[in-house]
Structure 1
Amino acid sequence: MQLPELSPVTSKRKSPRFQCNNIKAELFQNGFHTTGEVVDFSPRAFRVRIQGASSALFYRFDKELPATIRLYDDNDVFYIGNCRHMYQQQSDLGVEIVVRPYQIQKKRNKDKIIRNPRKQGLPAISAIFEHPLMNKTFQRKIADISTSGFSIRDKADAAVLVPGMIIPNMTITYAGLLKIHCKTQVVYRKDESSTRFGLAIMDMGIEDYNKLNQLLNNIPDNEEDMINEVDPDELWDLLFDSNFIYPAKYKHIQAFREDFRITYKKLYNECPAIAKHFTYQKDGRIYSHISLLRAYERAWMVHHHAARARDGVPTGLIVLKQMISYLYDLRRLPSAMLDYFICYFRPGNKFTDRIYTGFARQKLNPQVCSLDRFAYISHRANDVKSGLPEGWTLGECSKSDLWELEQFYMHHSGGLLLDVLDVKNNPQPALEQVYARQGFYRKWKAMALHFSEDLKAVIIKEESDVAINLSDLLNGFKIFVMDPDLSVNVLLAAVENIARAKSTETYPLMIYPIQYAENKNLGSDENYMMWILNARHANEFIEYIMKRFRMILN
């Protein structure tokens, strides 16, 4: 072989570099801090230019120690992570420094005790995203996906993602028809036959989450007939057959049976932002049902859990399992506003006692899971409203009233109810607007009953559409009686003064503590337990359910 005397030399980078557009950078290390702009990047390094700077700036920068880099623009942060110095050079425009991120593979969610199954080999599902550093759109095929994240494959010499990078504008598309929008973060890179990137879903709207959940549930590998379409007559039949609607409750709701049909047809088909349901059906017959409703700003209510046996086999756990799987990843999404789970149930029901009461008693920590017992009274409004006796006043709660209510409740319960109501911050207009956009109504307001200047009771007026909850638990009054000697006539007069705008003939009063109703012989129709779970401890509840019912969720 003979070589020419002169030959060109061609060098090729192992990883290509990509130009960046209007991306700012901050570099931190102990007391050192500087800002600049990102010139270009590769999957392994960032090149940052600090304009107008000299090398003297870096005398306090220790090249042997890790530093932290933050990449951002005027609207979003795209990367924050540790890096190490590779090299730097002085130019006419300033100092250019190249840093390499530490490629540490970390799970975004450390506490996963269950993992919703990942679907693989879907031919028509892709990820389309706007690269945050390049302002350029890319499309990649999704290798596997669940409600918590997905992975994509790329050629090593064409990879444009960096572990730790945040992608605010990601779209999951199925067959070009269904589009699901989310915010993701690259959590790992694996170099196999091709380069594989794992992306965790950081946030998405609840409508998009429902689309993704429905898409994954409809991919055949599920032996259970979980059907979203609900016939209101079949649901009504289930509620009667399972004794969910018992004679006393039917007497209360019979006047708005038609409202029930209209409300639930709309709620289940058109309102994913405030409601979700799960039914187990076979040949058009509903065997079990459970539903969720966003009852408060940061709390979702589990209600209408009813079941009947199919061929002698209980079915209630089937929908409970589906609901837990649905909520497990939903609770991680900031847009879901899911800080608390709540549930009302009558004491003495063996099934609910095993699930809810059993867990609360096991934890013995009301800041993890609280149980509050209310007396429930169906009160018939008087045609003529009586005024309050002299010396009594009724008005909106002041800060001092709310502070006194908090002290009273924490002394008696120590639970989470006031966190759920969040009357201190009065955030409900946001939820009001969410309901209004769906064509529904939801509101609550705290009123204080005083004698002279002494607080005697706090009355929370709750309003919602008729039949949105069959026990009307969101369309009545929660009453916290601070003075056990408070006259019943005065209390009812205060309630009726607040209720003047209500059109219903009867409305429920939920009185706390229950001893007041018992001592005053109010003749409560029944008692209700209000169960509240802090969503940060959802793992503990799921572990309890799995062990208690020998349930396999993943």
Structure 2
Amino acid sequence: MVSLQEIIQLAQNIRLDNQPGDWKTVSKKHLINILNYIHFQSGTILINFKHLKYNNIISLQARPKPCLDDSFDCIWLRPKGLKLNAYEFLDIFLTEGEKLIRIKTDVMAIREEGIRFSLPDTCYELGHQRVKRYSCEGVQVDFIQNGTVFSGRLLDFGAVSFCVEVSTVPPQSFYWVNPECPVYIVFKDEQDTFYSGSCRITRQTDGQKTRSFILESIDKQMRRFKPKKYRSSRHKLIPSPNIIFLHPLTSKMINLEVEDLAGSGLSVKEYYYNSILLPGIIVPELFIEFADGFKLKCKAQVVYRNTARTKDSTMFVRCGIAFLDMDIHDQGRLSGILHHVANKKTYACNWVDLDALWKFFFETGFVYPGKYALMHNNKERFKETYEKLYIKNPGIARHFIYQSNGIIHGHISILRFYENTWLLHHHAASRSSDSMAGLVVLGQVERYINDFHRLYSTHMNYVICYFRPDNRFPHRVFGGVTESIHDPKGSSIDPFAYFHHHKNANQVEMSALWSLTKVQPEDLTELESFYEYTSGGLMIHALDLEQSMLDSDELSREYQRLGFKRERRLFSLKKEGILKAFIMLNISDTGLNMSDLTNCIHIIVLESEDVPRDALYSCLYKLSNYYEQEKIPILLYPVSYAEEQSIPYDKVYNLWILNMQYTDQYFEFMEGLFSRVQKDRFKNSANFG
């Protein structure tokens, strides 16, 4: 039942709007039932009187008594001091659910404690073709026009129009408000902003210090994010989930059926005259409830509202809602649902049979003899790490699997290893079973990235991958993307020489001219200048090597909270105080990356001709004590330095980086690539990572 405050607001709105619409009759029998229900609920009605001389209207609250026959009695809610000699009875307003009913009848008696009316044969349901407005409390309003900000409050709200009350503060004047020009409206409370948008003034009351304005939103849709050509895939689920949320403006609980659902948002349908969603409204807490009571929570915003009619001409609106943020675990759950709906053999962030996974890694050759030679001494630690990754499913890692009948045919995973950068790795596919498995899981991770990278909780501004240039598949994909985008700020590749340093290597003494010290802010500025000159790519930002990220350790604390290890130490190699090389130590759990690329040393040499090999080896000897393993992986940039100094290395790893602002260009290339290449060309593609 609608509250008394809503009755008052609805009555005022009808008079202010002066739009009766189509009136629907209500029978005496039905009216008696309504009045008795109001009495049962201890509700009230609104009785209106008009001044005999001045024509102003007053509205008095009264509580109806049980109604049995052709009359009904009401008790004044505030009887003291009530004088109605100068007024004539006008009408009565009451509500039935969301309907406003107006009663025109005769007064039989007025007493100090109450009033008696005759019961008419019919009355009218008003505003049957109006979109309802709901009363609001506690919502502050900024009413802005031409540089002037008026403050006020939201009286009532509807999806088509709403009423605000604003006040002037000297030297403000309502003459400053031009009713023919749009106003910019902000709805907020002490903590949050719920809506902002341009509106037109349709009506206003008179008043020198305070006025009420009826406003209509100008925009029927908005662009929350930069438009994308390659959008999230939408699915109709059976049974359909519902969204449940407390409306931020009316404080009413809303429950709507979901029309379709994607990783980036959803759409719902409302009956036109009861609609409550307006483009631009932000919902701080929205729950998506599935059939078994399972819920996902997000922050969301209404982005469009389209009006349509059913076959029987019933008006409805379809509203689109975009996700603004979602907990990383709920992202994984939603992704798992949608991926499985799209393809019954695909799974995202699911519990994994670890025995089947390890068997898959060995059978596909992802764990080849050379790699296992480096792993076998720590095999128990590998198992422990993977149990935490695939059973506990922490927010720092996402995995995607293609399997049928319990047999895994494809796998890929991503790991958040820098503050806003995820590492794509461990891509493998079976050569003997399903030739599409490798492509399917790559498509899965691409879809996850496309769905969620814009959400704060994802922390995904960049995606990186290490691959060998002689590996045909990643070279064709990542190298092809980089060449296609043709902008190093969109996609870049930087080659590193890869080798191992032995902790028990002979110590090499460093000359007194050289020093190895903790990196200073100005060193990172020098590093950025060098890298911009030699490459111009994305490595500095993606690997958190910009000066503003020097003391950032939030991710390391998150790893520790989840039971993982992640440390980062930055050093500068200087000669006579001048920076010659930069060294980054990443220290993490064994097996977090199977090639230990998350548990290695990155070296960037700024002046190749002035850094002798012995100076580098001396640094490695000192820094190797930070690691537990005997063989420490080294990534050395540029490769030309290793060649000039005759430093032996095992292979070259390309560091590929994609800026998430360029996802459309990435997907455009991938679409073209797979339309040109036959599927069997990738059947025996090599693994990477």
TM-score, scaled to structure 2: 0.75
| 1:313 aligns to 2:415 (yes or no) | no
Counterparts of 2:172 and 2:568 in 1: how far apart (Å)? Answer: 62
Pick the aligned partner of 2:571 from 431, 447, 450.
Answer: 447
Kindly indicate whether residue 126 of structure 2 is the aligned counterpart of residue 12 of structure 1: yes
Residue of structure 1 equivalent to 2:630? 505
Report the structure number with the largest CA radius of gyration: 2
The reply to whether residue 354 of structure 1 matches residue 476 of structure 2 is yes
* Offset, 1:233: 3.5
Give the match for residue 275 of structure 1.
397
Of residues 455, 460, 472, the one that matches 1:333 is: 455
**CA contact under 8 A between 1:298 and 1:338: conserved in structure 2?**
yes
Matches of 1:412 and 1:54, distance apart in 2: 61
Q: 1:131 aligns with which of 247, 263, 270?
A: 247
Per-residue CA deviation, residues 43-99 of structure 1 (Å, 9 max, x unaligned), is: 222322223559961222222122211111111111111101122224587222222
SS at match of 1:235: helix
Q: 1:121 to 1:442 in 2, by over 3 A?
A: closer
1:366-416 alpha-carbon deviations (Å, 9 max, x no partner): 111010000011110137766643232222211221111111111111110
- How does 1:139-288 map onto structure 2 within 5 Å? 139-191=255-307, 192=309, 193=314, 194-219=316-341, 222-226=343-347, 228-288=350-410
In 1, Cα distance between the equivalents of 2:468 and 2:326?
A: 35
More displaced stretch, 507-516 vs 197-206 = 197-206
CA distance in 1, matches of 2:509, 2:171: 80
Letter paired with 1:215: I
User: What is the 5 A alignment of 1:380-391?
Assistant: 380-382=502-504, 388-391=510-513
- The CA deviation at 1:157 is 3.2
The one of 584, 591, 594 aligned to 1:467:
591
**Residues 63-78 of structure 1: matches in 2 within 5 Å?**
63-78=179-194
Count, aligned residues: 546
Is the 8 Å Cα contact of residues 273 and 434 (structure 1) preserved in structure 2? no
The 3-state SS of whatever aligns with 1:239 is helix
The residue that corresponds to 2:620 in the other structure is 495
Residue 554 of structure 2 is matched in structure 1 by 430
SS state of the match for residue 434, structure 1?
helix
**Mapped contact 2:236–2:260 kept (Cα < 8 A):** yes
- 2:662 is aligned with 1:537: yes
Which AA in structure 2 matches 1:45? S
Aligned Cα root-mean-square deviation (Å): 2.4
Identity of aligned residues (%): 34
Q: Give the equivalent residue in structure 2 for 1:89.
A: 205
Distance 1:52 1:486, change over 3 A: closer
Query: Which range moves more in the overlay, 207-216 or 408-417?
Result: 207-216
1:457 aligns with 2:581: yes
- Aligned letter for 1:301? L
C-alpha separation in 2, matches of 1:64 and 1:397: 61
Query: Structure 1 residues 477-486 or 422-431, which shifts more?
Result: 422-431
Indicate whether 1:25 and 2:141 are aligned: yes
Contact 1:296 1:428 (8 Å CA) reproduced: no
Which amino acid is 1:264 matched to? Y
**Aligned counterpart, 1:3:** none
TM-score (norm 1): 0.92
Greater RCO, 1 or 2 (C-alpha within 8 Å, sep 6+): 1
Does the C-alpha gap of structure 1 residues 177 and 499 become closer, same or farther in structure 2, counting only changes over 3 Å? farther
The one-letter amino acid paired with 1:544 is: F
Instruction: Report what 1:516 is aligned to.
Output: 641
Instruction: Give, in angstroms, the shift of residue 361 of structure 1.
Output: 1.8
The DSSP-based 3-state class of the residue aligned with 1:440 is coil
Kindly indicate whether the alpha-carbon contact (under 8 Å) linking 1:294 and 1:301 is maintained by their aligned counterparts in 2. yes
**Residue 416 (structure 2) pairs with residue 294 (structure 1):** yes
Distance 1:489 1:407 in 2: 26
Question: Structure 1, unaligned stretches of length 5 or more?
Answer: 1-5
Q: Output the CA distance in 2 between the equivalents of 1:413 and 1:53.
A: 58
Contact 1:387 1:497 in 2 (8 A): no
Q: Relative to structure 1, is the Cα distance of residues 404 and 100 closer, same or farther in structure 2, using a 3 angstrom cutoff?
A: same
User: What displacement does 1:304 show?
Assistant: 0.7
1:59 aligns with 2:175: yes
Report SS of the residue matched to 2:173. Answer: helix
Give the deviation of 1:42 after TM superposition. Answer: 1.8
Alignment partners' CA distance in 1, 2:543 and 2:273: 54
**Partner Cα separation in structure 1 for residue 626 and residue 435 of structure 2:** 47
